[in-house]
Amino acid sequence: MDAQARIVLGDARQQLQQLGENSVQLVVTSPPYADQRKSTYGGIHPDRYVDWFLPIASELLRVLKPRGTFILNIKEKAVNGERHTYVLDLIKALREQGWLWTEEFIWHKKNSYPGKWPNRFRDSWERLLQFNKSRKFDMYQAAVMVPVGDWAKGRLSKLSETDRIRDESRSESGFGKNVSNWLGRDMVYPTNVLHMATECNNQGHSAVFPRQLPEWFIKLFSQPGDTVLDPFAGSGTTLFVARDMKRRAIGIEILPEYVEAIEAKLRLRQQPQLV
Amino acid sequence: MDAQARIVLGDARQQLQQLGENSVQLVVTSPPYADQRKSTYGGIHPDRYVDWFLPIASELLRVLKPRGTFILNIKEKAVNGERHTYVLDLIKALREQGWLWTEEFIWHKKNSYPGKWPNRFRDSWERLLQFNKSRKFDMYQAAVMVPVGDWAKGRLSKLSETDRIRDESRSESGFGKNVSNWLGRDMVYPTNVLHMATECNNQGHSAVFPRQLPEWFIKLFSQPGDTVLDPFAGSGTTLFVARDMKRRAIGIEILPEYVEAIEAKLRLRQQPQLV
DNA sequence: GTTCCGCATGAATCGATAG
DNA sequence: ACTATCGATTCATGCGGAA
């Protein structure tokens, strides 16, 4: 088995106890949604979702490094015509458990699930909740910069005069001047809204994430050599992406057939995949 | 004064008591966010936000028609490095008050406020919470259909690159799109993610909403002749849009200078504005 | 007439400084 | 220690003047 990527068969709550405390830099996971994927996971009732998740989160709190990050992909379903509140309850419960609710990213799914209902439109976004153990955490923002929005209009040829002068005065005053900020002004920082299409592989396992989603968070919150954990590995997307990015990857998955599929893929490629 | 549009000077909680019960089809409003706009509204502390808002919501529940809708635009701020939970608390409190939390739309603001911090990116989305009195409410989905967005398939190859990109960015949810240009193409229903830039005028009062935002909800949840209410009228965008769409518009605003500005604009134009 | 480019302007947030 | 104020940071947008 690839030493850089490891998949464990078993229940997340139990298997997490085998991991050492303060050993994981980043958790990226998409747990089974309430009452979703019944056929595979048995389904957790929305009303019991918080109680089910809290013991697992407690273990995550233990294994996560002090400057590490926990990214939770989740979205409430509609029940009796209403949005259920278990995600709101979960956020509050996690805070009481000691987590800091640092941010809520929005994943805008461009090709959302089709359908039509008389009282609502298609749901094309999900929550990506960021939790931390401390206000001071590792964040490598430069790793996820994106092309400036103006690139189509050709307005990036010159900096505005005010910006240039502001930059020059900063450099003269001796404070840390980031030359790349204005020399290579074609890149800017992203926002907290992520636009990504879901991968529609209808073969076998349905990929929950597109690869770019864990990739973005792994770039942003970890460095090569760090440990990335997904306690609900599913088809293993987070695991493979992390390994390809030279992180140590740990996955936990309760379904034997998923674990076997992941192990097969791990044996198949010891080298990073290029897609 | 225009009979179709009426602005009332005063506190929302008190002035709402003057309105008859079951008289309003749609409430679209953007109350002052916690601790924001201190200079004008005095600012409500995040910890007291729910207590401040509940009495107002109680009046809204009274004046709203059984099949009407309440759209609440709101976003929590960052406090001590964390997202504050008052919006989550508010959703739960409104449900206890009798509201149904039907849906959460996402307003993706492409031009979010700039800035850079070590622990977060720019916040470029806001919540648009939909509440109803009943599971059966009026929803005119056909009124907001948008052209099908299969740009990637080469149908627009003749357009210049800049035009194509500009169109793509504006049409991700069909907003700001000139539908007449696409007559004959298939129309589809939108999703629950709305893409709109804030209107940043260089002169005078800057509008909180872009006009398309209330316009979209007014189309979706009301018909001509219905009454549309904004208890925090501000610069009056919702009011003017509703009037231009042949709805009866009622606004409440506590700041005399805002009320005067709205009254002046109402006198100025009895006819729908074409911009 | 167009197109191009400079400029002011935000529902912001953090860290340091001051009372 | 806890709260209030201030400066620094940053980018999409529309307007208006210039080419």
The token pair at A108 is 């805008």
Does A192 sit within 8 Å of B124, measured CB to CB?
A: yes
Q: Could you give phi then psi for residue B240, rounded to 5 degrees?
A: -70, -40
B88 in reach of chain A (CB within 8 A): yes
Which nt is closest to the CA of B38, judged by C1'? C11
User: For the segment A156-170, what is each residue's pLDDT rounded down to a tens digit?
Assistant: 434 444 444 444 433
Residue window 98-117, chain A: list those with CB within 8 Å of chain B. Answer: 100-104, 106, 108, 110, 112, 116
A18 CA to chain B: closest CA distance, Å? 30
Q: Which residue's C-alpha is at the least distance from the C1' of C12? A: B113
User: Considering only CB atoms, which chain A residues are within 8 Å of B135?
Assistant: 80-82, 119
User: For the segment A187-245, what is each residue's pLDDT rounded down to a tens digit?
Assistant: 999 999 999 888 765 444 455 689 999 999 999 999 999 999 999 999 999 999 999 99
User: Considering only CB atoms, which chain B residues are within 8 Å of A122?
Assistant: 189, 191-192
A91 in reach of chain B (CB within 8 A): yes
Mean pLDDT of A149-157: 50
> Distance between CA atoms of B125 and B78, rounded to whole angstroms?
14
CB distance B109 to B126 below 8 Å: yes
> From the candidates A74, A193, A196, which should be mutated to test the interface with B, based on the most B CB atoms within 10 A?
A193
> Distance between CA atoms of A206 and A202, rounded to whole angstroms?
6
A147 in reach of chain B (CB within 8 A): no
B84 CA to chain A: closest CA distance, Å? 8
pLDDT, residue A115, reads 85
pLDDT, residue B185, reads 61
Q: Could you give phi then psi for residue A87, rounded to 5 degrees?
A: -70, -40
Select from B131, B152, B129 the least CA-distant residue to B73: B129
> Distance between CA atoms of B173 and B105, rounded to whole angstroms?
12
Provide the mean pLDDT of chain A: 84
pLDDT, residue A185, reads 64
- Give the helix/strand (H/E) hosting B51: helix B49-63
User: Considering only CB atoms, which chain A residues are within 8 Å of B91?
Assistant: 85, 88
Mean pLDDT of A54-77: 97
> From the candidates A75, A76, A88, A151, which should be mutated to test the interface with B, based on the most B CB atoms within 10 A?
A88
Does B106 sit within 8 Å of A108, measured CB to CB?
A: yes
In the predicted model, is pLDDT for residue A114 greater than 70? yes
B188 in reach of chain A (CB within 8 A): no
Select from B18, B29, B8, B24 the least CA-distant residue to B217: B29
Residue A34: pLDDT band by 50, 70, 90 thresholds?
Answer: confident
Select from B136, B137, B138, B53 the least CA-distant residue to B92: B53
Can you count the helices (H) and strands (E) in chain B?
Answer: 8, 12
> In degrees to the nearest 10, what's the CA dihedral of B188, B189, B193, B195?
50
Q: Could you give phi then psi for residue A28, rounded to 5 degrees?
A: -125, 120
In the predicted model, is pLDDT for residue A137 greater than 80? yes
> Distance between CA atoms of B109 and B197, rounded to whole angstroms?
5
Does B141 sit within 8 Å of A191, measured CB to CB?
A: no
State the Rg of chain A over Cα: 21
A50 in reach of chain B (CB within 8 A): no
In the predicted model, is pLDDT for residue A275 greater than 80? no
- Quick check: helix, strand or coil at residue B136? coil
DSSP B191: B
Strand D nucleotides with an atom less than 7 Å from a protein beta carbon = 8-16
State the Rg of chain B over Cα: 19
Residue A175: pLDDT band by 50, 70, 90 thresholds?
Answer: very low
pLDDT, residue B205, reads 55
B81 CA to chain A: closest CA distance, Å? 6
Select from B7, B59, B4 the least CA-distant residue to B261: B7
Q: Residue A194 to residues A151, A217, B100, B108: CA-CA distances in angstroms? A: 19, 11, 29, 10
The token pair at A223 is 């460095």
> Distance between CA atoms of B253 and B7, rounded to whole angstroms?
7
Give distance CA A11 / C1' C17 (Å).
Answer: 51
pLDDT, residue B201, reads 61
> Distance between CA atoms of B271 and B275, rounded to whole angstroms?
12
> Distance between CA atoms of A50 and A91, rounded to whole angstroms?
9
pLDDT, residue A166, reads 42
Give the range among A101-105, A255-259, B45-49, B92-96 with minimum mean pLDDT. B45-49
State which residues between 160 and 189 of chain B bring their CB within 7 Å of strand D.
Answer: 169
B105 CA to chain A: closest CA distance, Å? 9
> Is the minimum distance from the CB of B116 to strand D below 7 Å?
yes
Give distance CA A169 / C1' C4 (Å).
Answer: 28
pLDDT, residue B199, reads 76
> Distance between CA atoms of A268 and B113, rounded to whole angstroms?
47
Q: Residue B124 to residues A219, B191, B194, B236: CA-CA distances in angstroms? A: 21, 18, 12, 23
> What pTM did the predictor assign?
0.89
Per-position DSSP letters for chain A, written without gaps between them = --TTEEEEES-HHHHGGGSPTT-EEEEEE-PPPBT-SHHHH--B-GGGHHHHHHHHHHHHHHHEEEEEEEEEEE-PPEETTEE-SHHHHHHHHHHHHT-EEEEEEEEEESSPPP---SS--B--EEEEEEEESSS-----GGGG-EE-GGGGTTTTSS--HHHHHHHHHHHHTTS---HHHHHTTTEE--BSEEEEPPP---SSSPPSS-THHHHHHHHHH--TT-EEEESS-TT-HHHHHHHHTT-EEEEEES-HHHHHHHHHHHHH-SSPP--
pLDDT, residue A156, reads 42
pLDDT, residue A170, reads 37
> From the candidates B83, B112, B133, which should be mutated to test the interface with A, based on the most A CB atoms within 10 A?
B83
Per-residue pLDDT for chain B (275 aa), expressed as one digit of tens each? 456 999 999 999 999 999 999 999 999 999 998 886 665 666 799 999 999 999 999 999 999 999 999 999 999 999 999 999 999 999 999 999 999 999 999 999 999 999 999 999 999 999 999 999 999 999 999 999 988 764 433 333 233 333 334 444 444 444 444 444 444 567 899 999 999 888 766 555 566 789 999 999 999 999 999 999 999 999 999 999 999 999 999 999 999 999 999 999 998 865 544 43
More confident of the two residues A184 and B134 = B134
